Amino acid sequence: MAITMNWDVIKGQWNQMKGEARKQWGKLTDDDWDQIAGERDKLFGRLQERYGWEKARVEREVDTFFGSSNSDFARGERTEARSDANPDFARGQDK
């Protein structure tokens, strides 16, 4: 099932969320996170640059992190980031 993420909500809650996102994608620098500032395209670009992933892979990683088929967060109904993120993503390992 596809998820429609509310990037306005993500951007609005960016400061709260980026701590968890930093754990997920450890190759991104503090400057990267400041530059991304909750912008979808900037996050995608930085993940592609730092991890060498193709766009489809980035989309899967971001979709998995910010939402799942039963997640309220991606629809703007959840107030905190997921805590069950897969640590393999942060190490850039393929499944």
Gap between the Cα atoms of 95 and 29, Å rounded: 24
Quickly count helices (H) and strands (E) in the chain: 6, 0
Name the pTM for this structure.
Answer: 0.67
The string of pLDDT tens digits covering residues 17-74 is 888 899 999 999 999 999 999 999 999 999 999 999 999 999 999 999 988 533 444 4
Domains and CATH numbers, the chain: 7-78 (1.10.1470.10)
For residue 7, pLDDT over 70 is answered with yes
For residue 79, pLDDT over 50 is answered with no
